[in-house]
Amino acid sequence: MRTLLSGALILLVCACARADSVRFRPIDVYVDSGKEPLAAYQVEITATNARIAGVEGGETGAFADPPHYDPAALQGGRIILAAFNTGIDLPRGRTRVATLHMEEDGAAEYQIRITAAATADGKRIQAKASLEPRQGDLR
Amino acid sequence: MSQHPDIVELDALRLGHGRAEDAAHVGGCRECGEILADLQALGDSLKTIAQAPPIQVPAERERLILWGAHKRALVARRRPWWRRSAWAAAALVLIGLGSMLRLSAVQLTRNAEVAMKSEAARPRALASAVSELEGKRGVDILDAFALARAVENHNGGIDVNRDGVVDERDVEALAAQAVSLRGA
C-alpha cells in the first residue's frame, strides 16, 4: 500500500513539473531588406522542444495579413512562411513580417533561414531574416 | 375592437367559408367592409373574363399570317444568285491556288492532323511547364509573386490548377505549393 502511494505521489510530482515547463511564447519574425523595398519573402523556421500553435501577420500594411503556410506545420516544429505584396507601399529595412505562437516544452531553440526575397519588380534581393522571442506565459 | 382579419380571411368570407367572428368584425368595421366589397368586385370581373368566348381570328387574317411566315422561310432558304456565284468563284480560286502550290489532299490531311495533335498537346504543355517549374529548383513564393503580377496586368501566366483560367486561384495554388512541407 505504501509503495502504491509513493508511486502515485511521484507521478503527481512529474505531472506538475511537466505542466510547469510548458510555455506559450510569441516569436516575432523579422526580414531586413536593407534599402530595397520588400515585396516578397519566404523563410523556413525550425524549432526544437517547441510546437507551432499559430501564425499571425506582421506589423506593416503590406504584410499585416498572416503569411502563407502549410496547415500541416501546426503542432509541428518546422514551418515555411511566405508572403508577397503587389502594391507600392512596401517596407524597407528591418520589418516584422509575422509572429509565430509557440508552445515550448523545456528549453526551446529556433532557427530561421531565408530562402527567397524580392523587391517590387520581382528581382531577387539579398535579405536577412531573424527571430525575436517575446516574454512567454507559463501554463 | 377585435383585430382586423387578413386578406385571406376576408376572401374566405367572400366565398362563404369565413369564421363567424370575422363576419361579425366586418359587420362593424367600415375599412374591412370596403376591402371585402373590393374583393367581391374583383371576383365578379374575373368571372366575367373567364366566361367570355375565346377570341376568333378572322380566316383572311390567319391566311395572311401563314403566308408571311412561309415567304420568310423561303427567303431564308434561298440565297441570291450572285452570292452562289461568288462561292463558286471562290472555290475555283482556291482550287487554282491549291494546284499552284501543289498542295495535295494528303498534305492537307497531314497538316490537319498536326494541328489537332498540337491542340491536344496544349494542356500537356501547360502541365509540363508547371512540373518543370516544380522540378528545376522547387517552387517558391517569387513564382507566385510573378504570377500575381501577371494576373494583375492581364499578362497571361500558367494555369496551375488547370481549370482553363489564369486567375488569383492559380496564384493561391502556387503559393500553397511554395510553402508545402511535403515538397520541401
The domains of chain B are located at 7-51, 118-179
Inform me whether the C-beta atom of residue A72 falls under 8 Å from chain B C-beta atoms. Answer: yes
> Among partner residues A42, A67, A86, which is closest to B148 by beta-carbon distance?
A86
Report the chain A residue with the minimal C-alpha distance to residue B151: A86
Q: What percentage of chain A has pLDDT greater than the value 70?
A: 82
Report the chain B residue with the minimal C-alpha distance to residue A41: B141
Mean pLDDT, all residues of chain B: 74
> Among partner residues B142, B148, B176, which is closest to A124 by beta-carbon distance?
B142
For range B28-57, the mean pLDDT? 83
Statement: residue A103 has pLDDT above 70: yes
- Grid cell digits, residue A54: 499559430
- AA identity, residue B110: R
Q: Which residues of B touch A118 (CB under 8 A)?
A: 142, 145
Q: Which residues of A touch B140 (CB under 8 A)?
A: 42, 82, 115-116
Inform me whether the C-beta atom of residue B149 falls under 8 Å from chain A C-beta atoms. Answer: yes
Interface test with B, best of A45, A84, A100 (most B CBs within 10 A): A84
Q: Distance between CA B6 and CA B22 in Å, rounded? A: 10
Asked if the interface predicted TM-score (ipTM) of this complex is over 0.90, the answer is: no
Q: What is chain B's length? A: 184
Report the chain B residue with the minimal C-alpha distance to residue A77: B181
Residue partners of B148: CB distance under 8 A and separation at least 6: A84, A86, B168, B171
pLDDT band at B157 (very low <50, low <70, confident <90, very high): confident
Q: Distance between CA A117 and CA A41 in Å, rounded? A: 4
Highest-scoring range by mean pLDDT, A62-66, B9-13, B24-28: A62-66
In this prediction, residue B139 carries a pLDDT of 87
In this prediction, residue B130 carries a pLDDT of 57
Inform me whether the C-beta atom of residue B105 falls under 8 Å from chain A C-beta atoms. Answer: no
Statement: residue B119 has pLDDT above 50: no
> Among partner residues A78, A79, A82, which is closest to B141 by beta-carbon distance?
A82
Q: Which residue has the cell 528545376?
A: B136
Interface test with B, best of A41, A42, A88 (most B CBs within 10 A): A42
Burial class of B172 by CB neighbour count within 10 A (0 to 12, 13 to 18, 19+): middle
Inform me whether the C-beta atom of residue A123 falls under 8 Å from chain B C-beta atoms. Answer: no
In this prediction, residue B133 carries a pLDDT of 57
The alpha carbon of B146 is separated from its chain's Cα centroid by a whole number of angstroms, namely 34
Q: Distance between CA B127 and CA B162 in Å, rounded? A: 8
In this prediction, residue B116 carries a pLDDT of 47
**Which domains, and CATH codes, for chain A?**
23-138 (2.60.40.680)
Please tell me the least confidently modeled range out of A23-37, A71-85, B46-60, B91-105.
Answer: B91-105
Mean pLDDT, all residues of chain A: 87
Question: Between these two residues, B102 and A137, which has the higher pLDDT value?
Answer: A137
Tens digit of each residue's pLDDT (9 = 90 or more) over A38-55: 999 999 999 999 999 999
Q: Which residues of A touch B178 (CB under 8 A)?
A: 42, 68, 80, 82
- Grid cell digits, residue B15: 366565398
